[in-house]
Amino acid sequence: MSKKIIVTDKAPAPVGPYSQAVEANGFLFISGQIAINPATGTLVKESIEVETRQIMENIKAILEARGLSMENIVDTTIFITDIDFFPAVNKTYAEYFKEGGAPARKTVAVKDLPLDARVEIAAIAVVSE
């Protein structure tokens, strides 16, 4: 097995001992992203929609660093600190996928997330078929 670490300054630097993404065996595994603005290094928290949008933009930037797009995503996992956020997160998340082209997904309510984030999203993308 070979693996390649994907790094871009257009997405936030990891806040722990992990990579932004790892490519292996035809897949790109994108680490859970929280709403850190890569330009400022600060967590964006104006609203749950803004927080979700920043996360999706971070994921998009990591994909683009590998020459991929949102269409390459085949699976996501969403962690939210309050299930009441689900409708707003879901609506913003949906803006990033074409009708009928959304990936498989899991959404889990959790007690806490790093840096007091309210949403975290991880993704898996296909690199080759």
pLDDT of the residue at 100 = 84
d(CA 110, CA 58): 21
Contacts of 86 (CB under 8 A, 6+ apart): 80, 107
pLDDT of the residue at 129 = 58
Q: Which CATH class is domain 3-126?
A: alpha beta
pLDDT of the residue at 15 = 81
Beta bridge partners of residue 5, listed in sequence order: 22
* Chain position carrying tokens 């913003």: 92
Listed residue (85, 73, 92, 91) closest to 28, CA to CA:
73
Instruction: Extract the tokens encoding 66.
Output: 């590998």
pLDDT < 50 positions in the chain: none
